[in-house]
Amino acid sequence: MGIEQQSKGGPSPVPGVDPGGAATMRAAVQHRYGPPSVLEVSEVGVPLPGRGDVFVHVGAASIHPGDYFAMTGKPYLVRLAFGLRRPRHGTPGMDLAGVVEAVGKEVTTLRPGDKVFGWSAAGALAEYACVPAKNLVPMPANLSVVEAAAVPTSAMTALQALRDIAHVQPGHTVLVTGASGGVGSFAVQIAKALGAEVTGVCSTRNVELVRSLGVDHVVDYTSTDFTSTDSTRTGKRYDVIFDNVEAHPLAAVREALTPTGTLIPNSGRGGRWLGPIARIVKARVLSGFTRQHLRPFTSLGKRQDLLTLADLLAAGQVTPVIDRTYPLDEAADALRYVGAGHTQGKVVITV
């Protein structure tokens, strides 16, 4: 199978490479779309690595709203990517951290024994995962495996939105809604690292958490509406609004933008059929009639961006916020909690 392994006792069989399929592992599995109860943890065959793959012993895997949508199959639009009638991948989960057990013959960037973190197409909620080498980078020494697993998708979304879409520069004013959530908690820290003056929007219970992330200002949305024209408004306009909640109409949010500011809508929620598509289309259309930039986007997994994040993490400029950890046996409970939409930072499953 093009796999090599190093061990103290010399070459040994690699789990998952047995052509007879005798090796098994524990994994969260679903055979149909539905609520978290469709998940069960059972023994399955270990995956077979390819020549360009890395075979990872998973230590932890994080989950985010996208995993919840992929599990439920709602909005129905997600089924175009994950399978029309049933999930194409039986084991969910993308973001992971762990130890390299073996590498394919074409892999030169990593070796057995390396501690790594990154993302896969699916299959992270398992004891082992096969991941393309280009999707993994060495784990910063100052991070635990739980912290590292929390990073990939959410932090890359925040980095690409602020750096590549909004082009945040030193001195810019940036407002982040959902500042205590998975993407938001990374976004406020990355915006600060880019030199911006940062305002985080959150509920009363999360004010101290958001303040601890280094923001310049905190808006408690239960008492202050950053879009309102009445006495509860902050009275500020922002160069960039990264809207991870989308609780306000586009027209209202635009009132809080500078005349040439950038609004990035970033929520997968919406109707049961198309999810956020209607809002995205409206933002695209409106952008052609205003000097303001309305820029919905889809983040893409990029190894170089993960390396950039690793540097920020190693320097202490970005620190993952961990809400809760669950053992693999409680994966359904973890996804149920994430689906409720009120996480403080990231939810991580330990394997």
Contacts of 293 (CB under 8 A, 6+ apart): 260, 261, 262, 263, 287
Instruction: Answer whether residue 221 is part of any domain.
Output: yes
Position with higher pLDDT, 192 vs 9? 192
Q: What CATH number does residue 247 fall under?
A: 3.40.50.720
Q: Which of 3-7, 67-71, 287-291 has the lowest mean pLDDT?
A: 3-7
* Judgement on whether residues 92 and 209 belong to the same structural domain of the protein: no
| pLDDT value of residue 206 | 97
How does pLDDT run across 73-113, given as a tens digit for each residue? Answer: 876 777 776 767 777 788 999 999 999 999 999 999 999 99
Mean of pLDDT over the chain: 87
| pLDDT value of residue 9 | 37
How does pLDDT run across 34-75, given as a tens digit for each residue? Answer: 999 999 999 999 998 899 999 999 999 999 888 988 888 876
| pLDDT value of residue 271 | 47
Instruction: Answer whether residue 307 is part of any domain.
Output: no
How does pLDDT run across 318-341, given as a tens digit for each residue? Answer: 999 999 999 999 999 999 999 998
Secondary structure (DSSP) of 114-153: -EEEEE-SS--SBSEEEEEGGGEEEPPTTS-HHHHHTSHH
Instruction: Answer whether residue 310 is part of any domain.
Output: no
| pLDDT value of residue 282 | 55
* Judgement on whether residues 143 and 157 belong to the same structural domain of the protein: no
How does pLDDT run across 197-250, given as a tens digit for each residue? Answer: 999 999 999 999 999 999 999 999 999 999 865 545 557 899 999 999 988 888
Within a 13 Å sphere around the CA of 260, how many CA atoms are in the beta-carbon half? 2
Number of other residues whose CB lies within 10 A of the CB of residue 15: 20
State whether residue 291 is helix, strand or coil: coil
Instruction: Answer whether residue 345 is part of any domain.
Output: yes
Of all residues in the chain, the percent with pLDDT exceeding 90 is 68
pLDDT range class, residue 289, cuts 50, 70, 90: low
How does pLDDT run across 141-155, given as a tens digit for each residue? Answer: 999 999 999 999 999
* Judgement on whether residues 163 and 266 belong to the same structural domain of the protein: yes
| pLDDT value of residue 212 | 98
* Judgement on whether residues 276 and 325 belong to the same structural domain of the protein: no
Contacts of 319 (CB under 8 A, 6+ apart): 147, 189, 213, 313
Q: Which of 10-14, 22-26, 159-163 has the lowest mean pLDDT?
A: 10-14
* Judgement on whether residues 145 and 190 belong to the same structural domain of the protein: no
* Judgement on whether residues 286 and 167 belong to the same structural domain of the protein: yes
* Judgement on whether residues 261 and 164 belong to the same structural domain of the protein: yes
The alpha carbon dihedral of 204, 206, 209, 212 has a sign of negative
Secondary structure (DSSP) of 306-341: HHHHHHHHHTTS----EEEEEEGGGHHHHHHHHHTT
Taking alpha carbons only, the member of 47, 103, 126 closest to residue 328 is 126
Cβ-count burial 236-263 (b if 16+ within 10 Å, e if not): eebbbbbbbbbebeeeebbebbbeebbb
Instruction: Answer whether residue 197 is part of any domain.
Output: yes
Q: What CATH number does residue 78 fall under?
A: 3.90.180.10
Instruction: Answer whether residue 301 is part of any domain.
Output: no
Instruction: Find out whether the peptide bond into 132 is cis, omega within 30 degrees of 0.
Output: no
* Judgement on whether residues 209 and 146 belong to the same structural domain of the protein: no
* Judgement on whether residues 247 and 339 belong to the same structural domain of the protein: no
Q: What is the dihedral of CA 20, 26, 31, 37, to 10 degrees?
A: 170
* Judgement on whether residues 79 and 186 belong to the same structural domain of the protein: no
* Judgement on whether residues 78 and 99 belong to the same structural domain of the protein: yes
CB 215 within 8 A of CB 199: yes
CB 241 within 8 A of CB 175: yes
| pLDDT value of residue 19 | 37
* Judgement on whether residues 19 and 103 belong to the same structural domain of the protein: yes
Instruction: Answer whether residue 312 is part of any domain.
Output: no
Instruction: Answer whether residue 66 is part of any domain.
Output: yes
Report the domain count for the chain: 2
Report the DSSP pairing between strands 53-63 and 346-350.
antiparallel
For residues 254-282, average pLDDT: 71
Q: Which domain holds residue 115?
A: 3-150+321-350
